[in-house]
Amino acid sequence: MRRAAPCAVRGLTALCGAGALLAAGHVGRAQDVSGGGPAQAALSAEGGQIYKDICQACHLADAKGGGGAGAVIPALAGNPRLADAGYTVGVVVKGRAGMPWFHDMLTPREIAAVVNHVRTHFNDFPGEVSEAEVVAAIAASGVASPD
Ligand code: HEC
């Protein structure tokens, strides 16, 4: 079963409708096909939507970051730190300073999707992150699982 990803995010219900509509557009195709290729494509589209719904508010649409003195948002585009997939997953799972954590807002699948999006769409780093790797990172980090 496929769920409407952005609706899982508490406090962002205004964005939920748009995300659900988009997700609904993918349902037919995602269920009609099997195998890695199309499934990966669906996951990639899901990551792009999550980025637009959540991350873009801070990191901006072009992922170049921004902010004035005292409120600097790092660029994700062309950011060599994102070459380390585990590091990227860790920041999104646990948060850091002004960066919110998402382990209790997004599912592991959604975290994998958005991490893959920022690592491949705004950069060209190899190595897709799987849902299972995010589950393992959450377990290893000791943060509470979603309620
Ligand atoms: C409320 C604003 C905000 C939102 C929303 C947000 N971020 Fe961030 N993000 C930040 C800030 C601020 C930092 C820098 C944290 C620090 O100082 O260590 C950051 C850092 C990061 C880093 C580490 C960059 C580096 O150079 O180490 C990654 C990766 C990242 N964010 C990804 C995401 C993703 C993916 C999303 C969406 C799921 C997201 N962020 C949503 C504010 C935000």
pLDDT per residue as tens digits for the range 104-136: 999 999 999 999 999 999 999 999 999 999 999
pLDDT per residue as tens digits for the range 137-147: 999 988 765 54
Query: Ligand 1 atom 32: the closest Cα is on which residue?
Result: 92
% of the chain surpassing 70 pLDDT:
67
Nearest ligand 1 atom to the CA of 102 is: 38
Whether 12 is in the pocket of ligand 1, judged by its Cβ within 6 Å, is no
What local confidence, expressed as pLDDT, does residue 89 receive?
Answer: 97
Query: Ligand 1 atom 5: the closest Cα is on which residue?
Result: 55
Nearest ligand 1 atom to the CA of 87 is: 29
What's the farthest any 2 CA atoms get from each other in the chain? 50
What number is the average pLDDT over the span 30-56? Answer: 74
Full set of structural domains in the chain with CATH = 8-141 (1.10.760.10)
Are 138 and 103 in contact by the 8 Å Cβ rule? The answer is yes
Q: Name which of 137, 130, 94, 91 is nearest 113 in CA terms.
A: 130
Q: How far is the CA of 74 from the centre of ligand 1 (A)?
A: 7
pTM: 0.78
135 or 29: which leads in pLDDT: 135
Q: Residue 116 contacts by C-beta under 8 Å, 6 or more apart in sequence?
A: 43, 44, 47, 128, 129
Angstrom distance (rounded) from CA 94 to CA 128:
20
Q: How far is the CA of 29 from the centre of ligand 1 (A)?
A: 32
Long-range contact pairs involving 95-103 (C-beta distance under 8 Å, separation at least 24): 98/58, 98/71, 98/73, 99/58, 101/143, 102/54, 103/138, 103/141, 103/143, 103/144, 103/145, 103/146
